Structure 1
């Protein structure tokens, strides 16, 4: 074998850096496989959930010794307390303050807890302001909810409207039209509607509303059934955190694989550099037999070493390995940042 062929063979033994990299594939966004309705709701940067609570006069009726309103308030409190701390929650009520006329009651819907993270004392105080008293301006309340969600428009938000009501609109509005308009806006909310001990007319309207906007309608006859519906929302909200943890865990595993590969590559470089000592001898021997160098030059070059292995490994340790390590760290920091971006945005977008 000629000297040039020996040189080419020698350098082919050093692993190239592109053999180091392993593609990292983020796990798919979670879906509640046992809940096809909630499973189709996308996970986005910020989750905003507004509860619209019916406090019309009929919510004074009792079930098991408690008013329907008291039971609904208890279920709502349990829901918001169980949501991830990163979620934005809001509470709107209608019919909860006596008004001098029906017309005034039909134009009264109040945002008692503006969007923000759950604070137990403030939310309890907001619920404490709600007493069953008035009419049912459901359409107007949905329109006002659109104003509440206005800061949260676009693809960065998952917006959910939860309505708990025991009856149909009583103020002449069109809840289906209002919900359809809100659904078609940039807010794009998902509707979860609970008919609480609802009459036939109320069930017909509320279920039609859910169907019109592709949401969920469920009957609830007691506290346990309301809470069962709210549990679906809680499980969905926890899906994002589970995904984030899984993604970060997989990312860590992939990074460890690449560090292990880097260690293997260092061993391969060391072995390859050792082989160069043998190659060094072969090259000089070939050149001597090809009569391209004299015996004295061959002896001189053997003393100088064509490929000093110590120098090669010094270069690996001081330049090449640090360069590859920085590239690994940078690549995985970028992936980590992509995973954490949603959580960070949740924290920074707590309020408009």
Structure 2
């Protein structure tokens, strides 16, 4: 019995150091965790502050406003679970300011939350280029490129790359483009010639198919008067699939129009793309070559929900050809831009019949363009103000991430900032309407001197 007892005690003593080591390890782990968690919180707070520090300051001019990168511009409802989840994701980088932040910290916070919902505001440059396009045929213009000729030709160059399969709402970009283009050509005057060229419609988006896809561009409807059945058949066989050879398409379009010299033809080209050229085909140089040719085309570039990089390249193409550039987000926007050519075509028809009453017609069209531009930008600042305001209230009431005082301050700042935007666009509209009352030459000179640089009047 004594021996057994000693053995038990011995075993107990042998196990004791092991237990102590486990306890020490546990204590060490707890200590490490305690030391790590505050460090992690500090790192997250520093990261949040760095995210805010990288946000650009509030603009002080419309030009600065125009240059701000856009954020999430679609409507978000915090009354629905899906909207709350999305809002949480969009604002997860914002710090908790439920303490006592300084005014400077609140200002930085406002800039950060504004950047989340920043709208894609457009300056007056695109509107002015649009007004210049609408001035085609004006007897005051000396440049023969902008004078009506005996024939009117409209060439549409359509992106058929794989990304055109992406959905915008309930339909693909390609389906939306087909509808808009069909509606557009149906409304052109009877004797207008129409052409349709596509690009990027062969192969796939894979690297192995790049060479094939980047060499694909086809004139599916040669330049001729509109025939509904033939045009619909040409559009039907267009299936988006591959890469985006914009430069190739422009070079081929120059060949398509080679026999339609600018001396006897008013040639209007619409390039529609949903992104940057993904082939090594120098699209800007190709566009410049087409523009400088004896075809003397009038170029119009339409971006279909294009990202920032794509917009930059398409804008470069427009600038190189003294053309217009517009970025649209849906079929309606595309239709509205194509409708601008319908206006020109209608004026061409009137020109062939009679040249009376033109000046008033130009001024009326310009006024409508100014009104439409102002209305679009007005909607943007209203949407942006509401998105920021609703989100601030959500973060305050539902997430407890700010005090009542901070919430009130940020809401006041939101109202003041968007009141400034409204006033700036109202002033711009008044200036544009006043200039529209001048002669075309004086109006364009005044507009370009005030809003454009390195631009010459046609």
Residue in 1 that maps onto 2:260: 152
The answer to whether 1:107 aligns with 2:203 is no
Out of 9, 25, 37, the position equivalent to 2:133 is: 37
Residue in 2 that maps onto 1:97: 202
Out of 244, 249, 252, the position equivalent to 2:352 is: 244
Q: Aligned-pair distance for 1:247? A: 4.8
Residue in 1 that maps onto 2:279: 171
Out of 289, 293, 301, the position equivalent to 1:193 is: 301
Aligned length in residues: 218
Residue in 2 that maps onto 1:279: none
The answer to whether 1:204 aligns with 2:312 is yes
Q: Aligned-pair distance for 1:90? A: 0.5
Residue in 1 that maps onto 2:291: 183
Structure 1: 4+ residue segments shifted above 4 A: none
* Per-residue Cα deviation, 1:277-298 (whole angstroms, up to 9, x for no partner): xxxxxxxxxxxxxxxxxxxxxx
Residue in 2 that maps onto 1:85: 190
Give the secondary structure class of the aligned counterpart of 1:101: helix
Q: Aligned-pair distance for 1:203? A: 0.4
Give the secondary structure class of the aligned counterpart of 1:229: helix
Residue in 2 that maps onto 1:161: 269
Residue in 2 that maps onto 1:221: 329
Residue in 2 that maps onto 1:276: none
Unmatched segments (≥5 aa) in structure 2: 1-129, 137-145, 358-458
Q: TM-score, normalised by structure 2?
A: 0.46
Give the secondary structure class of the aligned counterpart of 2:354: helix
For residues 243 and 211 of structure 2, the distance between their equivalents in structure 1, rounded to whole angstroms, comes to: 9
**Structure 2 contact 202–212 (Cα < 8 Å) conserved:** no
Q: Aligned-pair distance for 1:243? A: 2.6
CA RMSD of aligned residues (A): 2.0
Larger Rg: 1
Q: Aligned-pair distance for 1:248? A: 9.3
Q: Aligned-pair distance for 1:154? A: 3.6
Q: TM-score, normalised by structure 1?
A: 0.59
Closer, same or farther: CA 65–248 of 1 in aligned 2, 3 Å: closer
For residues 74 and 215 of structure 1, the distance between their equivalents in structure 2, rounded to whole angstroms, comes to: 24
Q: Aligned-pair distance for 1:35? A: 2.9
Residue in 2 that maps onto 1:232: 340
Closer, same or farther: CA 154–224 of 1 in aligned 2, 3 Å: closer
For residues 107 and 36 of structure 1, the distance between their equivalents in structure 2, rounded to whole angstroms, comes to: 34
For residues 94 and 228 of structure 1, the distance between their equivalents in structure 2, rounded to whole angstroms, comes to: 23
Matches within 5 A, 1:291-302: none
**Structure 1 contact 71–223 (Cα < 8 Å) conserved:** yes
* Per-residue Cα deviation, 1:17-75 (whole angstroms, up to 9, x for no partner): xxxxxxxxxxxxxxxxx933321432111111110000101111101110001001111
Q: Aligned-pair distance for 1:240? A: 1.7
Residue in 2 that maps onto 1:12: none
**Structure 1 contact 97–130 (Cα < 8 Å) conserved:** no
Q: Pick 1 or 2: higher relative contact order, CA cutoff 8 A, min separation 6.
A: 1
Matches within 5 A, 1:327-346: none
For residues 195 and 154 of structure 1, the distance between their equivalents in structure 2, rounded to whole angstroms, comes to: 26
For residues 154 and 262 of structure 2, the distance between their equivalents in structure 1, rounded to whole angstroms, comes to: 15
* Per-residue Cα deviation, 1:220-264 (whole angstroms, up to 9, x for no partner): 001111111111100110002223333599xxxxxxxxxxxxxxx
Give the secondary structure class of the aligned counterpart of 2:271: strand
Out of 169, 176, 183, the position equivalent to 1:64 is: 169
Residue in 1 that maps onto 2:123: none
